[in-house]
Amino acid sequence: MKIACVGAGPAGLYFSLLLKLRQPQHEITVYERSAPGVTRGWGVVFWNDLLDQLRSADPESAEQIAQAAFPWSNEIVDVAGTPILHGVSQGYGMKRRQLLEILVRRAQEVGVRVEFNHEVTSASQLPEADLIVASDGVNSQLRQEAKGIETDVRPGTNKYIWLGTEKVFSTFTFPFVETGSGWVWAHAYGVDAGSSTFIVECGQETWAGLGFGTMPPAECLAALEKIFAAQLEGQGLIGQTADGLNAQWVDFRTISNERWYDGKVVLIGDSAHTTHFSVGSGTRLAIEDAIALAGSVQRHDEVSAALAAYQRERQEAILRTQIASRYSSQWFENVPRYIGLTPKQFSSLMRRRRSPLMPHISPQLYYWSWPTTREPPFVDTLRRLAGPVAAKVFGLLQRSHRS
Ligand SMILES: Cc1cc2nc3c(=O)[nH]c(=O)nc-3n(C[C@H](O)[C@H](O)[C@H](O)COP(=O)(O)OP(=O)(O)OC[C@H]3O[C@@H](n4cnc5c(N)ncnc54)[C@H](O)[C@@H]3O)c2cc1C
């Protein structure tokens, strides 16, 4: 088959390299709009579950990723200078750029053609192909021209900006700082021995009140460095990517699609679905999509059968993470509801932010009913039951809204 992938992010690269590795007879080309080594966004986190999947899919690239991954352990929730340490989690951080470099090298090594500086805004610009993989991310242009996909886009109410810093956070840190216009907080984690990701988030009113909407980038970085001076310990924030572009304040958009393919065009990774950065799962889901799509293409002779099976498998598999993402992003959108608790209570509830019950009862009552970080078993049962039911109700509502 001739296969064209638009977008050299984790989804497109991993799909291409896996399929080529297993079925070298395919001719696979990845088209990427940026130059080699240029990527937007800093680092991402992941856990051992992703490394296990990578090891069983392609041990070679998995080993390189494992070697380059920066381990962090535990979490600190710091409310106005009172840090509460939670010693339970262990994960890894990695610069997006480094992850993509490993995947590009491996894809080229197994025979995938990667064409950089090649933007594709319509499938009609591609040479004849039997399968077109829309791995062009959250703003996918191929998705926008696909028919019958029924995309749902839900903008969040907070603003965030994806920055870096040379301060190394070897513990995942969430500093919450009160300003004259409201609370501002960050999600900070190390990505290598010399730098960290530093995502700053706040409500719209706080963002407008602090003047971030009209502030030039350098001034904005200086203001944020001042707000987070205690946590940054003298290090600055980095807002510019390798291609000289400045990081922008944006609204997180939750994307979902009723169908993931139209004819021979198939959605994968962020073009098919997004999950809020506070659940740290988008890269894992993109890689899992890639593994599932490569497997399905291998198993089926007909492209249409392969895409139908892929859609069935992945739409069901991501449901739990999508629901967790919704609760988690809503929790951060409602920080003022929780911030009056003591730092210990606040941090405890923050760690349980995926609970479907918490938004519906008073935070104090929730905390005093279950003061430990362990969730009551019935909440987990509810979450599992609510998943498929919520998805059904959501689908019905969407359909009735459109008709
Ligand atoms: C602030 C933030 C923090 C995050 N943190 C984490 C985290 O900690 N852990 C985690 O797992 N996930 C995280 N994510 C999510 C993760 O970054 C994405 O889910 C993941 O990158 C999706 O991979 P992808 O390959 O689908 O898309 P992308 O990585 O977005 O790649 C798409 C590629 O397509 C290219 N492209 C776009 N349009 C075109 C075009 N027209 N022609 C050619 N090329 C094109 C782009 O240049 C890009 O290289 C975070 C996301 C955000 C916004």
46 lines ligand 1 (CB under 6 A): yes
Beta strands in 48-130 (DSSP E): 70-79, 82-95, 113-115
Residue 85's φ and ψ, nearest 5 degrees, are -95, 130
Which residue from 44, 103, 245 has its CB within 8 A of the most atoms of ligand 1, so it is best to mutate? 44
A 10 A CB-CB count for 379 gives 18
Is the separation of the CB atoms in 23 and 151 below 8 Å? no
* pLDDT one-digit tens code per residue, 70-106: 999 999 999 999 999 998 788 999 999 999 999 999 9
Model confidence at 376: pLDDT above 90? no
Is residue 333 within a helix (H) or strand (E), and if so which, with residue range?
helix 319-333
Residue nearest to atom 37 of ligand 1 (CA): 136
**What is the DSSP-derived secondary structure letter of residue 322?**
H
The type of residue at 81 is G
* pLDDT one-digit tens code per residue, 312-370: 999 999 999 999 999 999 999 999 999 999 999 999 999 999 988 899 999 999 998 87
The CA 137 to ligand 1 mean position distance, Å, reads: 5
**What is the DSSP-derived secondary structure letter of residue 37?**
T
* pLDDT one-digit tens code per residue, 196-232: 999 999 999 999 999 999 999 999 999 999 999 999 9
The CA 136 to ligand 1 mean position distance, Å, reads: 8
Q: Give pTM, 2 decimals.
A: 0.92
